[in-house]
């Protein structure tokens, strides 16, 4: 092999960033890889617009720089799959379609390395792709799929390979974090913060995957596979998004020296793996509470090394592309095996029910402004053997009366049962469903 030849499929935000680094810094990355790295082909249906924005040479594009129909693009991808001069494909098309899954599988089967930022495909259908890469003896690189510029994949796979990871806790969705930070810092309601995020380019026109927690869930699935050698099927991962977070919740968090963040968490406890994505009250002394805007941050707790924190930009064209290119360099340096094969022996653990994991919680009840409410809630919690940590002031929030209780660690199921009883037995006193949030 005289050079390591790259094709890019889909030249949008991340793809065009990768093309820019590959062309501008070809000398630097070739030196590091120990072999010339060459971008030789780009397939994009909107080549003329990509060329206009990026300044990339038209002859790099399949079709010479003209627009392609989907059918033509498909044919061009087939040509790349059968082109033995191409060593590595960067997939930045996105989505989880059968068509793309087949193309990615065929790329790996053809003996080409595959680098992708496609967290949805990897989380939902990654096992087959991993197996195809291992079988073909090629690498499936996906540093760019989790936390953008933070090199969390290489850290989990390599840097802590002399250790046992006990837990991973992190802010992994920049859109949600941008919205929660805006709500907190500028007293905005959710819809206004979301629309500002969309205007600023931090949220998509359809933000469901981000604000619903699905995107964070995809990333957590990928990390649990690497850190604990174990697949949590995406559809079984407990995920709550941030759409129900109100300004009153944000205010209350501030009053108790917390910030609300969408937190991904996975941990091994008593030989079981617990994982979930949910909004949490993050105490001020926890560094995750200070992560503001579209940043991402991850806290890895190791058996021997203790806690290591990583923090950086979770998205962006060149930020995410730099992760794609670091994969490119590592793979070109070690082309003989799957650099990203999960090196964690599968733990003999089954995914456990997250609601059984004991946790400290904050409960907020909207109540009628009447004597005896604090007593009835506290008594009912005690009857369910739930230990109260602190009882908040019974406070007015605009026209509502809110009563809050912090409880010591107990399983979510135990708390849910207690809260359901309190709510059902006191229909005139407790208004609506209380909010329950873990405190970390």
Q: Among all residues, which ones are annotated catalytic?
A: 219
% helix, strand, coil for the chain, step of 5: 45, 25, 30
Q: Whose CA is closest to 175, among 214, 124, 118? A: 214
How many residues bind its own copies (CB under 8 A)? The answer is 54
Min dist. Cβ of residue 402 to its own copies (A): 32
Min dist. Cβ of residue 230 to its own copies (A): 14
Selected from 3, 25, 35, 36, the binder of its own copies by CB under 8 A is: 25
Q: Whose CA is closest to 414, among 379, 378, 383? A: 383
Min dist. Cβ of residue 235 to its own copies (A): 29
- Mark the segment that binds its own copies (CB under 8 A) among 47-55, 173-181, 314-322, 404-412: 314-322
Selected from 26, 81, 248, 308, the binder of its own copies by CB under 8 A is: 308
Q: State how far the alpha carbon of 317 is from the alpha carbons of 90, 180, 201, in Å.
A: 14, 23, 12
Exposed (0-12), middle (13-18) or buried (19+): which is 385, by Cβ within 10 Å?
A: exposed
Binding to its own copies (CB under 8 A) within 103-162 occurs at 143, 148-151, 154-155, 158-162
Beta carbons of 288 and 171 less than 8 angstroms apart = yes
Exposed (0-12), middle (13-18) or buried (19+): which is 81, by Cβ within 10 Å?
A: middle
Min dist. Cβ of residue 290 to its own copies (A): 8
Which of 148, 241 has the CB closer to its own copies? 148
Binding of its own copies by 231 (CB under 8 A): no
Binding to its own copies (CB under 8 A) within 283-302 occurs at 287, 302
Min dist. Cβ of residue 349 to its own copies (A): 14
Binding to its own copies (CB under 8 A) within 33-72 occurs at 33-34
Q: Is the dihedral of CA 426, 432, 433, 438 positive or negative?
A: negative
Min dist. Cβ of residue 150 to its own copies (A): 6
Selected from 5, 175, 326, 367, the binder of its own copies by CB under 8 A is: 326
- Please tell me the distance from the alpha carbon of residue 238 to that of residue 264, in angstroms, as a whole number: 10
- Mark the segment that binds its own copies (CB under 8 A) among 20-28, 168-176, 207-215, 397-405: 20-28
Q: Annotate 111-125 with b (16+ C-beta within 10 A) or e (fewer).
A: ebbbbbbbbbbbbbb
Q: State how far the alpha carbon of 237 is from the alpha carbons of 43, 153, 354, in Å.
A: 35, 20, 9
Binding of its own copies by 333 (CB under 8 A): yes
Beta carbons of 90 and 15 less than 8 angstroms apart = yes
Selected from 41, 119, 313, 435, the binder of its own copies by CB under 8 A is: 313
Which residues, other chains included, contact 119 with Cβ-Cβ below 8 Å and sequence gap of 6+? 142, 145, 146, 215, 218, 219, 222
Contact mark string toward its own copies, 151..170, x via CB under 8 A: x--xx--xxxxxxx------
Selected from 137, 312, 409, 411, the binder of its own copies by CB under 8 A is: 312
User: What tokens does 313 get?
Assistant: 């930009």
- Please tell me the distance from the alpha carbon of residue 281 to that of residue 175, in angstroms, as a whole number: 18
Strand partners, 9: 43, 91
- Mark the segment that binds its own copies (CB under 8 A) among 21-29, 48-56, 60-68, 201-209: 21-29
Helix axes 174-186, 247-255, angle to 10 degrees: 70
Contact mark string toward its own copies, 337..376, x via CB under 8 A: ------xxx-------------------------------
Q: Which positions lie near its own copies, rule CB under 8 A?
A: 17, 21, 25, 27-29, 31-34, 143, 148-151, 154-155, 158-164, 287, 302, 304-313, 316, 318-319, 321-330, 333-334, 343-345
């Amino acid at each position: 092999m005289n050079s390591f030849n790259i094709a890019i499929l889909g030249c949008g935000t991340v793809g065009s960033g990768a093309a820019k680094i590959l062309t501008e810094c070809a000398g630097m990355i070739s030196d590091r890889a120990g072999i010339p790295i060459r971008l030789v082909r780009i397939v994009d249906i909107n080549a003329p617009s990509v060329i206009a924005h990026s300044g990339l040479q038209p002859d790099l594009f399949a079709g010479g720089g003209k627009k392609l129909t989907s059918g033509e693009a498909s044919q061009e991808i087939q040509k790349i799959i059968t082109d033995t001069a191409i060593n590595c494909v960067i997939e930045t098309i996105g989505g989880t379609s059968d068509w793309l899954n087949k193309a990615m599988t065929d790329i790996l089967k053809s003996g080409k390395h595959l680098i992708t930022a496609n967290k949805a495909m990897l989380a939902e259908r990654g096992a087959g792709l991993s197996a195809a890469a291992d079988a073909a003896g090629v690498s499936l690189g996906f540093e760019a799929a989790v936390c953008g510029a933070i090199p969390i994949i290489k850290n989990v796979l390599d840097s802590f390979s002399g250790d046992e990871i006990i837990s991973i806790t992190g802010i992994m969705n920049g859109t949600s974090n941008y919205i929660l930070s805006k709500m907190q810092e500028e007293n905005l309601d959710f819809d206004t913060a979301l629309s500002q995020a969309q205007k600023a380019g931090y949220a998509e026109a359809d933000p469901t995957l981000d604000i619903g927690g699905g995107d964070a869930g995809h990333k957590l699935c990928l990390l649990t596979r690497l850190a604990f050698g174990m697949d949590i099927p995406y559809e079984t991962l407990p995920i709550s998004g941030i759409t129900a977070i109100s300004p009153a919740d944000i205010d209350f968090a501030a009053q108790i020296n917390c910030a609300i963040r969408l937190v991904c968490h996975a941990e091994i406890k008593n030989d079981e793996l617990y994982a979930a994505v949910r909004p949490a009250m993050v105490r001020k002394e926890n560094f995750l509470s200070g992560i503001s805007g579209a940043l991402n941050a991850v806290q890895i707790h190791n058996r021997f090394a203790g806690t290591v924190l990583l923090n950086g930009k979770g998205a962006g064209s060149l930020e995410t592309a730099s992760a794609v290119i670091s994969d490119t360099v590592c793979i070109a340096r070690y082309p003989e095996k799957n650099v990203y094969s999960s090196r964690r022996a599968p733990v003999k653990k089954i995914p456990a029910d997250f609601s059984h994991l004991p946790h400290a919680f904050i409960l907020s009840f909207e109540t009628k402004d009447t004597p005896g409410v604090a007593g009835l809630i506290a008594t009912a919690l005690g009857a369910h053997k739930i230990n109260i940590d602190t009882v908040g002031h019974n406070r007015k929030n605009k026209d509502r009366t809110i009563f809050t209780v912090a409880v010591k660690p107990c399983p979510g199921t135990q708390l849910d049962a207690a809260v359901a009883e309190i709510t059902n037995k006191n229909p005139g006193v407790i208004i609506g469903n209380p909010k329950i949030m873990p405190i970390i």
